[in-house]
Amino acid sequence: MTKEKIHQIEEKHPDFEERAEHWKITSLLMGGTLAMRKNHNDTLPQYQREPDENYNARVSGSVLYNATREKVIKFSKKPFAEKVKFSADLPPEFDFIYNNIDGNGCTLDKYLEQNIKRRLVFGHAINMVKGPNLFDDNGVKVSEAEVKNKQLYPFVATIHSNSLISWSYDSQGMEMAKIQYEVMEYDGENIKKNLKIDKWTRNDKVTWTKTSEHKDGWTAAAPIENEIKEIPIVISGDLYGRPEVEDMAHLNLTHFRKSSALDSYENLACVPFLFFKGFDPETTEVKVSVNQAYFNKNQNSNIEWIELEGGEGLKQASTSLDKLEAKLQASGADIVTEKSASQKETTATENVIHDDDKMSPLQSIVVDEVNAFVKILRFMSMWMDVKVPDVALIIFKNFNITKRANTKIEQLLKARASGEISRETFLKGLEEVKFFSDDFEIEEEIQRLEDSSEI
């Protein structure tokens, strides 16, 4: 391996950075307040002439009102109001799919729910079907009985969008993929975090490890034959697709910044300060305590406390923040808004090419997941060297908001933004059109929003 090729291993696809820009904020929002604070250069820019000390204090005191994360969790659960099922029983060889699809005890329903969540946050979900190790320590292939006894089955791993750093397609499909990840490894004395890259081709997989000990940075393990002669990556959705909640996320980011600024202004306005009149600043040492006294020969001198009253600027900022919250509470309706009269369940036997104009975005995501699972079963069958099961995955999709309900939501939003109705009336109006899930407690939400520490 030449030195040039060693350095090329960590090169990213030319489109990687551009794609990652779209999910930067959506991903940070899923990490909550701490992630937003940690990445403050992207989320809370420092104001011109704002001292570092004040800026750091503002960042550490900023609290996220995370409407986007709440909507992502709610929408990702909607397709699982009913348990996922198949059109027929799976063959016994595939029984592991129901309760251990990822090799770590994850159920099929939960795995698909996480996939849909990734579709909302990243615009796609990347699945890799990994084969089991069917050889013992001596390189001898184990028997079928040992496979069943040791539960040596293929499993599906979710690949983070940031981990797929490079890829290539030809007329037959994906011909190269590079997956970057970190692993903790114990060297007998210390636990080290090593960076690895798996480079897949149709012929083999080569794992590269980056270590400080190696002069070239990267070392390659011996190639492992790719027995199925295909790269077992299944992408549900579009690899270049944008997150469904991207616009909502940027609205949420605006709220976070305005909330941070308003908190800073309120803290400044609420703290009184001493005003000294007629004192020489060069001879007067100011200390505030109960046993401190000041004397001055100037008969016109005076000391008084000055308190600022909330002005129109603070009121306008508070009103603006309130309107943003109303928009965030109503946002996302378009993701589940009904666009056709079709309310049937989706199976893999339906046409893969569907008319997106006749389905809500969330329904389209469900269809994509169903079609992706056909490919997942195919790769599993290839690893297991068995026939692909002739079954269809069925996922509930009767969760649309009607157009009439969506119109009412827009009317409620306008009324709330103009101050014609209260926040309580607004939330109860959303509840009436079934915008919230069945387990949503309206009174608890109203109380939470009234608590200033939550804003």
Residue-wise pLDDT for 239-265, tens only, equals: 999 999 999 999 999 999 988 888 777
- Looking at the domain assignment, is residue 165 inside a domain? no
State the average pLDDT over residues 198-219: 85
Percent of the chain at pLDDT > 90 equals 45
**CA atoms within 13 A of residue 17's CA, in its CB half-sphere:** 3
Residue 331: which pLDDT band, with cuts at 50, 70 and 90?
confident
Q: What is the domain extent for residue 310? A: 258-277+300-336+403-454
The pairing of strands 218-220 and 224-225 is: unpaired
Query: Is 187 part of any domain?
Result: no
Residue 347 lies in a domain: no
Residue 104 falls within a domain, yes or no? no
393 closest CA partner among 363, 410, 414, 368 = 368
Report the domain count for the chain: 1
Q: Which residue has the tokens 């040992």?
A: 146
**What is the predicted pLDDT for the residue at 97?**
93
- Predicted confidence (pLDDT) at residue 73 exceeds the cutoff of 50: yes
Residue (of 325, 118, 327) closest to 239 by Cα position: 118
Provide the pLDDT for residue 414. Answer: 72
Pairing status of strand 204-210 against strand 224-225: antiparallel
Q: Is the pLDDT of residue 343 over 60?
A: no
Which region among 115-129, 284-298, 303-317, 323-337 has the lowest average model confidence (pLDDT)? 303-317
Looking at 271-311, list the stretches that DSSP marks H as alpha helix, in order from N- to C-terminal side: none
439 found inside a domain: yes
- Predicted local distance difference test score (pLDDT) of residue 454: 41
The pLDDT tens digits for 138-194 are: 666 666 666 555 557 899 999 999 999 999 999 999 999 999 999 888 878 888 888
| Structural domain includes residue 122 | no
Contact 367, 359 (CB under 8 A): yes
**Would residue 51 count as lying in a domain?**
no
pLDDT for residue 143? 64
DSSP-assigned letter for residue 159: E
- pLDDT for 358-382, tens place per residue? 788 999 999 999 999 999 999 999 9
**What mean pLDDT comes out for the span 274-282?**
74
